[in-house]
Amino acid sequence: MTQVLLFATVISPFVAGLLEVIKRLAALPKNFIPLTAVVLGVALGAVAYPFTEMDLALRLWSGAGAGLSATGLFELLQKRQGHTKRIKED
């Protein structure tokens, strides 16, 4: 499990970078960004076989985790304007 998390941590910045390139080059709808990130992560995990001795299934899981974390990292660092909804107190 430690190898899976470590590998996902290593490839997550690459997924985030490639996702940003794809977003700038293609008109990608915002609701497909997380799916695109997961697909990119799985693809990077699959092609990274020369760099690790992990099984293919573990590399694919790491890639999916890296895609999800890259999307979360982007959302965390993205500057948003406005306020959150407040619950009306009666």
Mean pLDDT, each 10-residue run in order, the chain (90 residues): 83 89 85 87 88 86 88 66 58
State the pLDDT at residue 43. 93
Q: What is the CA radius of gyration of the chain?
A: 16
18, 67, 20: which is closest to 42 by C-alpha? 67
Tokens of residue 69, six digits: 């974390």
pTM score over 0.75:
no
